């Protein structure tokens, strides 16, 4: 680094400084390329660029497994890499209520059966029904539970329609 010192006393002082915070390395780790960091500092850098993890000093490839923890005489025996710095908590805000959900889905089971049935000006558009032909959803395979349910609902609505028309005719 460019901030190297000239005299020996400063040299020895700064030789155990973390290359990121420029302070004496705490929970020190050394990379295989020989550069010293505090583990919290290096960890934050590795998190900053998770896809391109390089040594801040020499840009050699680096990762959690390519650094060696340093244990001084009276330092804790715990691997500094197991102590992660406290991370800021995530923030989440509630989404804006969407105006597009104007009425609740007309759910009949969850078999994917959708049907709309409307009546226009009599007698035109008497059957403005939509029977979802040729839609993108895959049809339930025969013999499955869904298929039986679909068949049942088709028949049910057919009967509802017939009863409704009959009521219209006699009314």
Partner 1 sequence: MASMQKRLQKELIAIQKEPPPGVSVNPANIGPNLTQWIVDMEGASGTLYEGEHFQLSFKFSPKYPFDSPEVTFIGSNIPIHPHVYSNGHICLSILSEDWSPALSVISVCLSIISMLSSCKEKKRPPDNSLYVKTCSKNPKKTKWWYHDDNV
Tokens encoding 36 = 């010293």
Binding residues vs partner 1 (CB under 8 A): 1-3, 5-6, 19-23, 35, 41, 44-45, 48, 54, 56-57, 59
Contacts 24+ apart (CB under 8 A), 12-21: 19/56, 19/57, 20/44, 20/45, 20/56
Q: How far is the CB of 8 from partner 1 (least distance, A)?
A: 15
| DSSP run (H or E) holding 29 | strand 28-31
| Spatial contact of 116 and 129, defined as CB atoms under 8 Å apart | yes
Q: How far is the CB of 121 from partner 1 (least distance, A)?
A: 58
Identity of the residue, 1 or 168, whose beta carbon is nearer to partner 1 in the bound complex = 1
- In the chain, % helix, strand, coil (3-state, to 5) comes to 30, 10, 60
β-bridge partners, 130: 116
The residue among 40 and 150 lying less far from partner 1, judged by its C-beta, is 40
Complex with partner 1: residue 48 or 143, whichever CB lies closer = 48
Please tell me the distance from the alpha carbon of residue 105 to that of residue 19, in angstroms, as a whole number.
59
Closer of 59 and 64 to partner 1 (Cβ): 59
Q: How many CA atoms lie within 13 A of 114 on its CB side?
A: 11
- Select 21 or 119, whichever has its Cβ closest to partner 1: 21
147: which 2 tokens?
Answer: 């298929």
User: Least Å distance between CB 2 and partner 1?
Assistant: 5
**In the complex, what is the shortest distance from the CB of residue 82 to partner 1, in angstroms, rounded to a whole number?**
21
C-beta of 19: minimal distance to partner 1 in Å? 4
């Amino acid at each position: 680094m460019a901030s190297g010192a000239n005299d020996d006393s400063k040299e020895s002082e700064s030789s155990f400084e973390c290359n990121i915070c420029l302070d004496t390395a705490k929970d020190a780790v050394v990379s295989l390329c020989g550069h010293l960091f505090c583990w919290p500092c290096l960890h934050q850098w590795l998190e900053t660029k998770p896809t391109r993890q390089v040594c801040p000093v020499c840009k050699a490839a680096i990762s959690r497994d390519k650094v060696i923890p340093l244990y001084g005489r009276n330092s804790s025996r715990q691997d500094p890499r197991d102590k992660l710095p406290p991370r800021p908590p995530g923030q989440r805000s509630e989404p804006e209520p969407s105006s597009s959900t104007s009425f609740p889905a007309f759910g009949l089971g969850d078999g994917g059966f959708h049907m709309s049935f409307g009546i226009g000006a009599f007698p035109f558009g008497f059957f403005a029904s939509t029977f979802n032909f040729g839609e993108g959803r895959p049809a339930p395979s025969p013999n499955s539970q869904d298929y039986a349910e679909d068949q049942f609902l088709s028949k049910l609505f057919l009967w509802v329609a017939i009863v409704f028309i009959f009521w219209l005719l006699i009314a």
